[in-house]
Amino acid sequence: MVPALSPVIRKGASLAACRFDRRDPVAAQQALFRELLQRGRDTRFGQDHGFGSLLHLPFEEGYDRYRRTIPIRTYADFWQEYFRSGYETVNGGPRLTLDNVTWPGRIRLFCETSGTTAPTKYIPFTPEMFAANRRAARDLLTNYLAAVPESRLFQGRFLYLSGSTELTTLGPGIESGDMSAITLRYAPALLRPFIAPSPQVAALAWEAKIEALTELLLTDQEITGISGVPPWLLLLLDRVRQRGGKPLPTLLPNLELIVHGGTSIVPYRREFETLFGDRSPRFLELLPASEGFMGFQIQGENDMRFTPWYGVFFEFVPFSYLDGQGGIPADAPAIPLAEIRTGERYAVILSTCAGLWRYHIGDTIRFTSMAPLAFEFTGRDRFLDRFEEKVTQAEVDQAVADLNEQMTADVVEFMVGPEISQRRHLWVVAVKGVSPGAEYLGRFLDERLMTFNADYAAFRRQGRITPPRIVTVSEEAIYDWSRLVRGKLGGQCKIPHVDPTMEGDLVKSLAEQAEG
């Protein structure tokens, strides 16, 4: 059994937690706004948008001019206007060079995520952002240790259930990869003895990695913490339980903490409770992103703390202003942190120390408290994301449009959502005319989404997401269901194409009605 924390570490953690609580979020944001403008003023973006003229103004006036003169941008906008000119293909491989474009100096690291404007989204990841993320990780841990003085976390090892740790060369001294790959590859040497798995295991293909991590957890009693995305954590832990043939608390006696993020744990909570019973480790939620860190949960609190001091200036647009594709109209009002209200759902806009300015990230949150400043993650704008696949509503709609071009019949209405227990998408489809059958519909839609979305394709190949289930229904039945279940009448209502509920409650209800 590993020993508990030393008095020195306990005292240091307590002092750091007190300093964390004394920070003023609004003052921090106003100071950070000026710092970011100062750093970006001489870049191409800063000159295009007159950053220098904003620096001498008081915050209220400077911010008002900032939001009036600089449009909110998506990644597609940044790609077209600022990043694409630095992109080329050399010997069949990508090359991307950004020198003083949206952030001073040359960008040496990019986080990769799937995108539709190019085969891959390349999110700039600067040394400043790396340092900010490390501060966030330090603050999460010190707050945890202050709340749990008997913790043994530091006397064991922390296991990261990451994606691919392979990095791609984008040019001399320039690399890209999954954010977790970058974090593990460039972790401080001092921390490496406390991190699992080894680089060799981390680089394995998904199924081989799960097998290796299962074996590691069954044989290494020094694992005190695990970090990952809820569905993949469940997959790994269930594999451990099956292989070990005993209850998880018996197999993992020193597992103290599970840190989870990327998607809400709400749909998976019951499964975790089933796995651990009444001897569960502690759970802490965080909301990280390749573009910037937003917050983490403090032990003993229900919601995450919003953390506006890690290199990101935040703005918020009320969710009601988003259009049906999750886009933000040009005239949608954005507000700073000082003007947010509890209970309202907001789309998050970022300006960052990696050179993203008024960037629409696609995440939505709801503030639940002002003192302390707490929030909950309410999902992405219009995404299928319960398995971290980030399939957009636009991709779903295009898959159905392509399907209609291939059939003599037409899909006239549909809904898709997560079927959590089976790790798959559940589609309910209304076809006018002679349907080609659920098997054909499922195969076609699955293949189209794999074509559109690199994350979904990778997860399907690795078995992390299983083939979709298709339920066919008449158009009238969908509208009858909407009237009975949603309280909205017939064909006059808009059927959500992507189920907005956390656990796929709407699409499950519709499928159950269709299947009798």
Maximum alpha-carbon separation in the chain: 73
Computed over every residue of the chain, the mean pLDDT equals 88
- Residue among 112, 37, 88, 72 nearest 390 (CA): 112
For 88, the 3-state DSSP assignment is: strand
177-214 pLDDT, tens digit each? 888 778 877 877 767 778 899 888 888 887 888 899 99
Q: Residue 369's pLDDT is what?
A: 96
Residue 13 pLDDT grade (very low, low, confident, very high; cuts 50, 70, 90): confident
Paired residues of 284 in beta bridges: 259
Burial 456-467 (b: 16+ CB within 10 A, else e): bbbbbebebbee
The pLDDT of 116-122, averaged and rounded, is: 60
Straight-line distance from the first to the last Cα atom of the chain, in angstroms, rounded to the nearest whole number: 54
Q: Residue 320's pLDDT is what?
A: 82
Type of residue at 16 = A
Position 323 pLDDT exceeds 60: yes
Q: What gap in Å lies between CA 404 and CA 418, rounded to an integer?
A: 23
Q: How far is CA 487 from the centre of its chain?
A: 32
Domains and CATH numbers, the chain: 7-14+128-293 (3.40.50), 31-101+304-382 (no CATH), 384-514 (3.30.300)
281-314 pLDDT, tens digit each? 999 999 988 899 999 999 999 999 999 999 999 9
Number of Cβ atoms within 10 Å of the Cβ of 13: 22
- Check: CB of residue 112 under 8 Å from CB of residue 120: yes
Q: What gap in Å lies between CA 331 and CA 350, rounded to an integer?
A: 17
Please report, for the chain, how many H helices and E strands are present, in that order. Answer: 18, 23
Q: What gap in Å lies between CA 317 and CA 59, rounded to an integer?
A: 19
Position 117 pLDDT exceeds 60: no
Q: Residue 267's pLDDT is what?
A: 59
Q: What is the DSSP letter of 298?
A: P
413-452 pLDDT, tens digit each? 889 999 998 999 999 998 877 888 899 999 999 999 999 8
DSSP H helices, 245-347, are: 248-251, 269-276
How far is the CA of 109 from the CAs of 112, 162, 392, 444, in angstroms?
10, 18, 25, 36
DSSP H helices, 163-224, are: 179-185, 199-202, 206-219
Q: Residue 313's pLDDT is what?
A: 98
Residue 486 pLDDT grade (very low, low, confident, very high; cuts 50, 70, 90): low
Q: How far is CA 106 from the centre of its chain?
A: 26
Q: What is the DSSP letter of 38?
A: H
- Check: CB of residue 314 under 8 Å from CB of residue 297: no
